[in-house]
Structure 1
């Protein structure tokens, strides 16, 4: 075979490779375009969360302004979308009084939530010997003396959306739930064990994504 013929075959191979590569790019572009169109049409709705109940095991404020608290909460989440699944990643739950976090974050296992599916999590929240500011301690003593302590249960993490086989990048999710813990004659809780009191709530939570 002459050098001219070899060069001709090499050019032909390069053209075929370029056409295959161009075809792949066009195919990927069309797939991505289809996914984006579906995404725009479906308009994913953010999940909803409900604080079902909270069980209080320990809630003790000792001098000087040291708080020990142990809870178990039950949180229900719902994916309201008919065609979009949700992945929950790095989701942590913790309790806050006023503006101060009073328990360590408790990790929720990574979860996939299918369309129109409910999930229930029941994590324990622990805060042993947590130092709190003097004004927070004073407010807590006052609220407890009045028989009603308002806490917030918060969950922070990331979510990913699943449309068909396509999974998006991750988005931050923040969940904010109010929890009212009552004491003394005003208590609405039910004893469920040694010094454990369960409070039914069934309150919707604020969710931002």
Structure 2
């Protein structure tokens, strides 16, 4: 009794079916591996806290231009016990009503180990930075009232390190609101001059 061979079309269907099943099994294995790694490592994004802001200059007297000088102290913590963080690039600047009012200052690249904490104190400033007219009106009013709400922002790139494995680069966005009030008691003079230091200890929002 002879064995009946499959015709051309049925053979192709069997081959495609096997390829599809193989791809499906491979994807399931990859997904399962990712879930296991996630469950073991429990990855969390870094946390940031704005410790203080020192204001050396804040001058909005010239129409539609702003001159500022700040020093900000930022605390960053890696909450992961098995994952390290490479900060490849971090640019810090000050924002007022969604408009950059200082130049960007780069924080040097660094590696943050498991559960480690880093503290950075970059200077950010701007000389005669153009401000949109509608923002300048509000800024002048806020300055006259002695109360200004700005946002310290960080834009950058990070990589994750697990053992010998290092991931690709991811964007990191950090937003730290800073309420500056010349009439409040939450500040102190610095160096005997016009500089004013504000102790804020403000938790920042972080997205990766």
Q: Please tell me the TM-score bracket, short chain as reference.
A: 0.7 to 0.9
Shift in Å at residue 182 of structure 1? 1.1
Q: Using the alignment, how far apart are the partners of 1:75 and 1:117 within structure 2? A: 14
Equivalent pair of 1:147/1:187 in contact (CA under 8 Å): no
Return the offset for 1:172.
Answer: 0.5
Please state whether the residue corresponding to 2:139 is helix, strand or coil: helix
- List gaps (5 residues or longer) in structure 1: 1-31
* 3-state SS in 2 of match to 1:195: coil
Change (3 A) 1:156 1:46: same
Give the secondary-structure state (helix, strand or coil) at the position aligned to 1:169: coil
Match of 1:191 among 177, 189, 198: 189
Distance 1:84 1:188 in 2: 37
Could you tell me how far 1:188 is from its partner in structure 2?
A: 2.8
Structure 1 residue 114: Cα displacement: 0.3
For residues 165-176 of structure 1, what are the structure 2 equivalents within 5 Å?
165-176=164-175
Structure 2: any 5+ residue segments left out of the alignment?
A: 1-29
CA distance in 1, matches of 2:39, 2:165: 14
Structure 1 length normalisation: TM-score? 0.80
TM value normalised by structure 2: 0.80
Residue 66 of structure 2: aligned partner: 67
Mapping for residues 84-123 of structure 1, pairs under 5 Å: 84-123=83-122
Give the 3 Å change call, closer, same or farther, for CA 114–87 of structure 1 in structure 2.
Answer: same
User: Quick one: distance in 2 between partners of 1:168 and 1:41?
Assistant: 17
